[in-house]
Structure 1
Amino acid sequence: MALDPQSRLWTLAAAAACLLPLLLQLPGTMAIAIAVLGGAIAATTRRHRLPAWLRLLLALALLGYVMASSHFVLGRDTGCALLAAMLAIKPVELSTVRDGRSLLGFALFAPFSTFLLDQGPLSLVLALLGATLALAALLRLADLESGDAMRALPPWRRLLGVWRLIAIGLPLAMAAFWLFPRIATPLWGVPERVLARPGLSDRMSPGEWLDFMNDDSPALRATFFGPPPAPSQLYWRGPVLWNFDGRTWTAAKRLQGLPPAPATHAARSWDYEMTLEPTETRQMVALDLPTQIPEGTRLGLDYGLEAPRPLVTLTRWRMRSAAPVAFEASLHPRLREMALRLPEGYNPRTLALARQWRRKAGANDAAIVERALAWIRSDFAYTLSTPLPGRHSVDEFLFDQQAGFCEHFSSAFVVLMRATGIPARVVTGYAGGYRNRYGDYWLVRKSDAHAWAEVWLAGRGWVRVDPTAAVAPERIYDTLADRASGNFGGRLAPMLDVGDWLRRGWNDLVLGFDAARQQRLLQPLGIDRLDQRSLIALFALVAALAIGWMLWLTARAERERDRLLRAWHRLGARYARLGLGRAPHEPAGEWAARVAASRPSATDLESLSARFAQWRYAHGDGRTQGPRELDELVRALRRHRP
């Protein structure tokens, strides 16, 4: 059966709504290209189908474009992009009811694929909207195929029917989400993404951090149980970089399996819970320095923290940290050699300056560190607009440009310290944060990414030195509210706070609902912990009630699928309460005549009964009346009272 124009429009609109949340998770250029191609195909095939050779050419071209954009590497985002591309060109075959059903069935995969890339509330709302429109379009196609005049119903009534169907299965779905026993670790893994999320890594190259530091999306949220640290102590320690090849800093892989270096911590510590956004890597951060870490995580020799598996979803971690008083006060000779190593043939002016400083300072390492910081304070500036360096990157920064951001300051400072004979290394992570006044938690954004230096001083061990803070302390310690004060962004701060607080609530309520939180689900009712057996029993009870609800509603809907019939049965129930109910074998007209004989005042019941019988059973003009007459009759039956 051929599609009529309205049914075709319904089908295309539903497919587009299903595709929208998936497109929003793809790279911008790719998403725009797929959307434009899908719209062009839907418009050009409205009257005529494209020839087979052109359809094949379009499919191959789109497949090649997606694979080339993904560097011909298969992954989670590559598969989702291929699904979006195939869905965009599927309308070339849309001409019959069967084609419409095929397109809608295929389109329903798109909202579910979106959750492989993002599980935020916006993706859920758009996915529900797409699924609702797809089900409504399927109902319209069914009406079209059956030739039922009910297909002329207004769109909102068709959508209302879909929402009723969803309401039937919602209790069972909620019971499965909240009560079905969860396992602590997944049974299977999710394929990695080809286009990785921006985040901290175990390498730092010139220019690689620019996009990351301009990204204001959240990196983590932390809640402190007690007074929080001062802003100058909010250093979130991440990967530590030891190796330098003249251009790129990298972590020392062979140190990751060694136990943490000995450290003496200050008496004051901070107990906090941290929620990390997905990064697709194992790299974690912790407030400098962690003293207690979550079970399953691993702390390296240099206190770089790793998760047991890639952080592909939102994760929550409870830990404790304290500032170090002495950090690896005795340095192993091999580690000292690593912390002094510099590549040959690079940065001759920096090496010459370092030798000059060493001759003047003698054995006073602390004086050399302070001299370098004083030079930075007096002559250097902070900026994100820096050209890519040449071969002698540190020489260019220290003597020519004298302007850059944390990537330049930390790298040049560590090279300068190593050249003077002071062991040094680069530490990456985040600095600062913003306190949300509504949720009383600290928000750290990706734009708070930072790199600083650690130098080894006799008697103290590793000491944090932040050369960027020496020249631009406002860039490190000020919160977003401080930076936005006095402008339009400052006036929007309360709205932004509320928005992020709502997102945090979604993370806690839905995305962060794991096995541990499920076992503590009934703590407000005095039940401290639910074991697996209790969870199974509770789920079975709630699921049985939900299935009973489903069976009752579906049986009722099957009996009273027609709203006219529903109104007629309710009218009969009102008379039954007076002892004048209709017998199962009694025709409508005879029942109305019997009621009118016993109650002369019920004369309008006979007319209503005649109209009902005419509409429901007549094969002539009764079935040719429109939906307006049907609405009027239903309202009359609902208003009638004995």
Structure 2
Amino acid sequence: MKHTRLDRRTLLSTGAALAAPLFVPGLARAQAAERRFEPQIAGWRTFEVTTTVQVADVQGATQLWLPIPDITSDYQQSVDNRWSGNADTIGLTRESKHGVQMLHATFAASNAQPTVTLTSTLRTRNRAVDWNARAGQAEDPAVLKANLQPTELKPLDGIVRKTALEATKGATTDVDKVRALYSWVIANSWREPKTRGCGTGDIQAMLETGNLGGKCADLNAIFVGLCRAVGVPARDVYGLRLVPSAFGYKELGGNPANLKGAQHCRAEVYLTGTGWVAMDPADVLKVMRQETAEWIKDPAHPIVAPVMKGLFGSWEGNWVGWNTVNDLVLPGSADRGTKSFLMYPNGENASGRFDESSPDSFKYTISARELST
């Protein structure tokens, strides 16, 4: 089934009034001390990411789809993907509309415990924009055009367009527009820990209801949609945190031994003359809401300010990006409805589509380890 807009937003808190930026006093002096968050381009790091699926609900024939690192860029390189298990058929396949690559496994109805282990090896490094440098090769115009289009959950007309124009009023350059929208999302949205998974990215419903709370797939989707609505190419990048942050922010890293719930999407914008630029307003909002025991509501707070500055143009290389696609159909799936994104393991059998946001009932685990180079 295709996604509906308003129903799923009702799962989120309706406390829109909490979005107003306010300073919350009372943080310990040690917490209030300004931290560093300054990712700089450095050497490559190599990681192995292992996903193991053992299907718990065995009803009829089973299919599994697992994301792989399908991004090659100046911040990420895929080395290889290898797999094992008891599937009848298994291998890499591409989704027809966007060409995104994934691992696809099928199991006969007689298989009592469908099992797959996927190990992906990749290299990643910090990303930081040099605002004074000129981009090398210009991006393919077809890629830029694709990243200016609406998606099912990111329409670019109506309230989305209206909000984007109001937020960028007076901005004359694309950089000014992007900075205004980045600040607008941080000032008007908030991290909602009760949101399931990473959220859905239903930005029209969020804007129509005024309920701008959510997680990364909601908050960065608002940013991406608003950018596209004023003519700036932008895209979500769906991925997974791998290891702790080198800058000491507990909310900006993952536990490599157990990456359950470590999925995280980021964002990029394309600026003429500069190229694709890293962005992540959702992680600024995560630090504000969850880095300390108290909810920090002032982005100028010394714990938040370095992150707000740093995530406008840089990323830390403790994360892997799977892909950048929206509105995809899983190859071979009996359910021909579109998925908003591919960031989690997916599966289905005679009982229907598995709950990707529930690794304990789906029965999958993800872990990572850094390899010496």
Band of TM-score, shorter chain: 0.3 to 0.5
Relative to total residues, which structure has the larger helix share, 1 or 2? 1
| TM-score, length basis structure 1 | 0.28
| TM-score, length basis structure 2 | 0.46
Relative to total residues, which structure has the larger strand share, 1 or 2? 2
Higher relative contact order (CA 8 A, sep 6+): 2
